[in-house]
Amino acid sequence: MLDRDAVEKLIRESAERSRKARGEYHLFGNTMISVKGDIYPTIDFDQIVKEIEEHMSSHLFEEIDYIFIGSFSENDERALEAHYKDGAIYITSDLPTNKDYIENIVHEAAHAIEGQHGLSIYGDKNIEQEFLGKRRRLAARMTAEKIDISSLNFEDPEYSMELDSFLYKGIGYEKLNNLTIGLFINAYATTSLNEYFASGFEEYFLGDRAYLHKISPQLFKKVEEIVMGDENGYI
């Protein structure tokens, strides 16, 4: 006859198998990850959860109730891997590695945080001034390379489909990466103030923190304040 501990272990193992069969995982015990689409057999969401929880604090996910993995029209229409909306992150299910999912989850967590605490992040204009200064230097580099940017507005920090299309299709992110060395963490960070923040947030946790501090000190400072949010009441 099985003792109580053995019975409880069997119950837990059965519940775990049932949860995985339903494609359900929990991040920090609160945010549900629901896998609705077919994923590559090498993807391990238990490992994804473990790595995120090792790098980050639970308070950074307080605004996120769900992370859905599947096929979503907004991702398809805008050629996105993921987007955040109304307390949920929506990620395409055809990403090939655990790293891809981790990067997208961390990046979209930044958008969740700025959606709730945008005034604290952007109110003093420090990040915006830093971002626009980099935009101006990028424009100067493009002009030096004989790239015609006369029809584009590099002074607007908000997302512009026209500018994004020009950078993505007209120049291409590979060439843009070369133009942004020492200015932006990556080419996508040039597209808007929001993506500048989210790219820096992602780099802080998953990339080269020292390099982020070197090239984007105001952004680095804001992310540090967010990380310390529980202690200083920032968020």
Q: Is residue 1 part of a domain?
A: no
Burial class, 163, CB count within 10 angstroms (exposed 0-12 / middle 13-18 / buried 19+): buried
Residue 28's domain comprises 20-121
Q: Is residue 148 part of a domain?
A: yes
Q: Is residue 8 part of a domain?
A: no
Domain stops at, among 71, 93, 121: 121
**Co-location of 74 and 31 in the same domain:** yes
**Co-location of 149 and 115 in the same domain:** no
The whole-number pLDDT of residue 182 equals 95
Domain stops at, among 121, 137, 156: 121
pLDDT of residue 17 exceeding 70, the answer is no
* Total domain count, the chain: 2
Q: What does 65-77 look like in DSSP terms, one character per residue? A: -EEEEE--HHHHH
Measured distance CA(187)–CA(207) in Å, rounded = 15
**Co-location of 60 and 98 in the same domain:** yes
Measured distance CA(192)–CA(20) in Å, rounded = 38
Q: How confident is the model at residue 1 (pLDDT cuts 50, 70, 90)?
A: low
Q: Is residue 192 part of a domain?
A: yes
**Co-location of 64 and 98 in the same domain:** yes
pLDDT of residue 138 exceeding 80, the answer is yes
**Co-location of 128 and 104 in the same domain:** no
**Co-location of 156 and 205 in the same domain:** yes
**Co-location of 73 and 171 in the same domain:** no
**Co-location of 131 and 110 in the same domain:** no
Q: Is residue 205 part of a domain?
A: yes
Both tokens of residue 35? 């896998």
**Co-location of 169 and 207 in the same domain:** yes
| pTM listed for this prediction | 0.87
**Co-location of 132 and 55 in the same domain:** no
Domain stops at, among 121, 146, 178: 121
**Co-location of 117 and 132 in the same domain:** no
The whole-number pLDDT of residue 23 equals 81
pLDDT of residue 40 exceeding 60, the answer is yes
Q: Is residue 164 part of a domain?
A: yes
Summarised one tens digit per residue, pLDDT across range 153-187 is 999 999 998 998 898 888 988 899 999 999 999 99
pLDDT of residue 19 exceeding 60, the answer is no
Which letter, b or e, does each residue of 95-120 get, where b requires 16 or more Cβ atoms within 10 Å of its Cβ? beebebbbbbbbbbbbbbbbeebeeb
